[in-house]
Amino acid sequence: MSIITRIREDITAARVHDPAARGSVEIILTYSGLHAVWAYRLSTRMWARGAKMPARIVSQLARFFTGIEIHPGAVIGRRFFIDHGMGVVIGETAEVGDDVMLYHGVTLGGKSRGREKRHPTLEDGVHVGAGAKIIGPITVGTGSIIGANAVVTKDAPPHSLLVGVPAKARPREPGRTYGLTEEPEYHI
């Protein structure tokens, strides 16, 4: 996929997920979540090529300018969107699928100091509310929604609604969108 196609896809994802988005130029110039994702894409390429220190410098510069910290070792899918991103932290072994959306203050954090998988996996289409903490090498299934300020420490099956401290997974009601569109339309 070309860089231009990926940029267009990111801008479209912002339009789909944010009803306040008024135009591409505004999104490009003012969306810190988008800036952090673009810096991540640069730093992760550097990381994969063995330039670990320069990759970390790029990620820390992005953190300084956006308030969003994404480790270059994390794996992030397409159309990832961070809305009002201040305070988002994504750890080194985190895995984020396609069409995932995070709000501000979200942590995808680790539980150990070892060199193993220690951060969560969010499968495709997961939406995470403001202030939620997803901790440890757990998996949150496709299409799940994590409520604001939930603390998730256990695996969740696909299409779950996770709320509370600690969060408890329950099935989402069929047909209910919880304020989200079920199938975002992406026109690239």
180 in a domain, yes or no? Answer: no
CA 188 to CA 142: how far, in whole Å?
A: 23
17 in a domain, yes or no? Answer: yes
Q: What is the DSSP letter of 131?
A: T
Query: What pLDDT, on a 0 to 100 scale, did the predictor assign at position 18?
Result: 87
128 in a domain, yes or no? Answer: yes
Confidence of residue 156 (pLDDT cuts 50, 70, 90): very high
Between 173 and 44, the higher pLDDT residue: 44
Type of residue numbered 65: F
118 in a domain, yes or no? Answer: yes
Say what percent of the chain tops pLDDT 70: 92
185 in a domain, yes or no? Answer: no
137 in a domain, yes or no? Answer: yes
3-class state of residue 157 by DSSP: coil
Judge contact between 69 and 90, C-beta under 8 A.
yes
Query: What pLDDT, on a 0 to 100 scale, did the predictor assign at position 42?
Result: 95
Query: What pLDDT, on a 0 to 100 scale, did the predictor assign at position 178?
Result: 63
Q: What is the DSSP letter of 136?
A: S
Q: Which parts of 42-84 are beta strand (E)? A: 69-70, 75-76, 81-82
- Provide the domain limits for residue 148: 3-171
CATH of the domain at 54: 2.160.10.10
CA angle 82, 84, 88 (to 5 degrees): 60
Does position 13 have pLDDT exceeding 60, yes or no? yes
Calculate the CA 44 to chain-centre distance.
Answer: 15
Number of domains in the chain: 1
Between 1 and 22, the higher pLDDT residue: 22
Query: What pLDDT, on a 0 to 100 scale, did the predictor assign at position 75?
Result: 97
CA 154 to CA 136: how far, in whole Å?
A: 8
pLDDT 10s digits, 53-62 = 999 999 999 9
Judge contact between 123 and 142, C-beta under 8 A.
yes
102 in a domain, yes or no? Answer: yes
44 in a domain, yes or no? Answer: yes
